């Protein structure tokens, strides 16, 4: 890496685990925009100032995160590096809650200790994260990630920067996705309903991205006003784009079972029961969701798995 790019250090009170914290940004192992390599995270993204590639690393044995950035959006991205890596996440409030509140499950305390470097990231990229979220509606995660990869490779652009950055792609601009015909989405395995939702969201990208400055509740209203964005999509977007530690993914295929299995030992649950189990952690319910997911908690499966929808090249 001969070009050092722009550089910023972020000092934190406690070490931050970048893989645990920034893992939700990565859309599978083949994600052309986000890659763990060279001891850190490479990420190509769009900013209001233009495309940027960031390389984020942890300083060994120190609570320091180092970010380097290349491209027109470098200054913008490094200004927001503390929020991105979770250095502004109020994790200490959660620690106090589970140490003092009644009804806290010992599994939650254990996971918090075990995954102490997990933070809630804030990307400030609402429309950008809305695209893979919409792709994940009503299909398997494998299908959604493959579709996202195909769309980025066909509609994105080369990322700025040296070395590893040259193998990355910047996600397609909202204006490009808004004008992309149905057959391009169909070739990537995306049926008309999800394609239409993505095009609509991208046509209102400026309104969606304003949600960053609206506060959580007004941001929820803004997102839910868009046809095709329901409770699950809203929570997925707000938790990652706005760093909302309370956002729970209502309507998820697996999550109620995971929460029930982790906190009651029951292999099956539903949304209502899940919310009851998470209520003692209000304000941090999405954080508990992330802890359970990051720990790899999986409820037993008794029936057939959800099969791929098979939209690709048909």
Examine residue 312 and state whether it is found in any structural domain, yes or no. Answer: no
The 10s digit of each residue's pLDDT in 193-217 is: 999 999 999 999 999 999 999 999 9
Mean pLDDT of the chain: 93
pLDDT recorded at residue 48: 95
Instruction: Report yes or no on 307 lying in a domain.
Output: no
Q: What is the mean pLDDT of residues 46-53?
A: 97
Assess whether 227 and 146 both reside in one domain: yes
Query: Model-level pTM greater than 0.85?
Result: yes
SS3 per residue for the chain? CCCCCEEEEEECCCCCCHHHHHHHHCCCCCCCCEEEECCEEEEEEEECCEEEEEEEEECCCCCEEEEEEECCCHHHHHHCHHHHCCCCCCHHHHHHHHHHCCCCCHHHHHHHHHCCCCCCCCCCCHHHHHHHHHHCCCCCHHHHHHHHHHHHHHHCEECCCCHHHHHCEECCCHHHHHCCCHHHHHHCCCCHHHHHHHHHHHHCHHHHHHHHHCCHHHHHHHHHCCCCCCHHHHHHHHHHHCCCCCCCCCCCCCHHHHHHHHHHCCCCCCHHHHHHHHHHHCCCHHHHHHHHHHCCCCCCCCCCCCCCCCCCCC
Q: Is the pLDDT of residue 306 over 70?
A: no
CATH number, domain with residue 179: 1.10.340.30
Poorest-pLDDT segment among 137-141, 186-190, 234-238: 137-141
Banded pLDDT at 307 (limits 50, 70, 90): low
For residue 168, being part of any structural domain is answered with yes
Return the CATH number at 62: 3.30.310.20
Domain contains 10: yes
- Do 158 and 234 fall within a single domain? yes
pLDDT at 1 over 80: no
Residue 167 is assigned to a structural domain of this protein: yes
My answer on whether 201 and 292 are in the same domain is: no
265 and 291 both lie in a single domain = yes
The number of folded domains in the chain is: 3
Query: Are both 96 and 84 inside the same structural domain?
Result: no
* 1 located within any domain: no
Residue pLDDT, tens place only, 87-132: 999 999 999 999 887 889 999 999 999 999 999 999 999 999 999 9
Domain hosting 280: range is: 90-118+248-300
- In a domain? residue 286: yes
Q: Are residues 218 and 137 in the same domain?
A: yes
Residue 158 sits in the same domain as residue 11: no
Instruction: Indicate the pLDDT class of residue 312, thresholds 50, 70 and 90.
Output: very low
Q: Residue 304: what pLDDT?
A: 55
* Residue 314 binned pLDDT confidence (cut-offs 50, 70, 90): very low
Q: Let me know if residue 130 belongs to a domain.
A: yes
State whether 75 and 97 are in the same domain: no
Task: Tell me what pLDDT residue 61 has.
Answer: 79
């Amino acid at each position: 890496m001969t070009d050092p790019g722009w550089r910023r250090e972020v000092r934190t009170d406690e070490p931050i685990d970048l893989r645990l914290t920034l893992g939700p940004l990565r859309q599978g192992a083949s994600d052309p925009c986000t890659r763990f390599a060279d001891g850190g995270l490479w990420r190509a993204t769009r900013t209001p100032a233009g495309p940027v590639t960031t390389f984020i690393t942890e300083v060994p044995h120190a609570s320091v995160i180092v970010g380097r950035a290349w491209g027109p959006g470098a200054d913008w991205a490094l200004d927001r590096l503390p929020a991105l890596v979770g250095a502004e996440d109020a994790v200490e409030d959660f620690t106090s809650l589970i140490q003092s509140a009644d009804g806290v499950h010992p599994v939650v305390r254990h996971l918090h200790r075990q995954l102490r470097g997990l933070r809630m990231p804030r990307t400030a990229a609402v429309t950008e994260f809305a695209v893979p979220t919409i792709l994940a509606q009503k299909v398997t995660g494998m299908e959604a990630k493959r579709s996202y990869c195909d769309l980025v490779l066909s509609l994105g652009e080369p990322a700025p920067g040296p070395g590893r950055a040259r193998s990355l792609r910047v996600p397609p601009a909202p204006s490009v996705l808004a004008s992309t015909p149905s057959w391009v989405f169909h070739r990537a395995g995306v049926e008309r309903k999800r394609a239409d939702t993505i095009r609509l969201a991208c046509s209102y990208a400026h309104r969606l991205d304003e949600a960053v400055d609206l506060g959580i509740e007004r941001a929820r209203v803004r997102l839910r006003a868009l046809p095709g964005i329901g409770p699950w999509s809203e929570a997925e977007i707000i938790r990652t784009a706005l760093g909302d530690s309370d956002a729970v993914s209502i309507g998820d295929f697996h999550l109620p079972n995971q929460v029930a299995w982790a906190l009651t030992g029951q292999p099956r649950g539903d949304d209502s029961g899940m919310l009851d189990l998470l209520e003692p952690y209000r304000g941090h319910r999405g954080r508990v969701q992330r802890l359970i997911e990051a720990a790899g908690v999986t409820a037993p499966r008794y029936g057939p798995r959800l099969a791929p929808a098979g939209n690709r090249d048909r």
